[in-house]
Amino acid sequence: MAHDLIPIYLYSRKFLVPEGSTIITALEYLGFKLKKGVGCKEGFCGACASLYRLKGDYKLRGGLGCQTVVQPEMQIVQIPFVPAPKAIYNIEELKPDPEVFVRHYPELYRCLSCNTCTKICPQELQVMDFVQAAIRGDFEQVANLSFDCIMCGLCSARCPAEITQFNIALLARRIYGKFLTKKSALLEQRLKDISSGKYEEGYKELMSLSKEELKNRYFSREINFQIT
């Protein structure tokens, strides 16, 4: 079915694209070779962060190119990478102490509580809330609130205090996972089994199967859920 064409501006150049396209499908329609600024195309990798303005609207908006539907006279630019300093650390040498942020991300304490980061997040995460949780040293709250972060960088791109919220959240989740979460006895045992070579013969057998045999094995498998 034919679609009406609408005008949009990509990198200040005017193009006509099918109405209802996302930014990514509009780029594909125009013949752009997508080497950067595109990944999974389903909204979960964060590679296609985009900034745009709508006709008659003063606001600079942000979104993912694979989710954002183009509108007439929309002005668009992609930012496939947001420059953001990432601290280098050895997780084994860290402790679940707020001082870890003072040492590695002191800009955290410049937060103005303006909520700009939350407003632009394409995942609709409560970014300002997990930043404030980090300031309080509440690693669990940071980990829970930032769990779905795809690190697209839009929060940092708009932050007036120039905080790298997503890298701070990543550090908090690593510390929480390493030191504060409940350990799974089943996981510990499975890691030991893998290290001992218990499953090597099974791996070799699977590698020898055809694609059809693998599919049959997969769909006929018995699933056993056990939570500890």
Instruction: Say yes or no to pLDDT of 163 above 80.
Output: yes
pTM for the predicted model, two decimal places: 0.79
pLDDT tens track for 104-150: 999 999 999 999 999 999 999 999 999 999 999 999 999 999 999 99
Task: Give the C-alpha separation, 63 to 106, whole Å.
Answer: 27
Question: Residue 56 falls within a domain, yes or no?
Answer: yes
Residue 226 confidence (pLDDT): 59
Separation of alpha carbons 98 and 96, rounded Å: 7
227 lies in some domain: no
pLDDT at 121: 96
State residue 80's pLDDT score: 82
* 210 lies in the same domain as 139: no
C-alpha span between 21 and 7 (Å, rounded): 12
Determine the structural domain holding residue 144 and report its residue range: 91-180
pLDDT for 225: 62
Q: Clarify whether residues 95 and 173 are in a common domain.
A: yes
Within-domain flag for 226: no
Residue 161 falls within a domain, yes or no?
yes
User: What pLDDT score does 211 carry?
Assistant: 93
Q: What is the pLDDT of residue 189?
A: 93
CA quadruple 92, 97, 99, 101: dihedral positive or negative? positive
Mean pLDDT over residues 10-21, rounded? 95
pLDDT for the residue numbered 38: 86
Q: Is 17 within 8 Å of 29 (Cβ atoms)?
A: yes
Number of domains in the chain: 3
Q: Is the pLDDT of residue 164 over 80?
A: yes
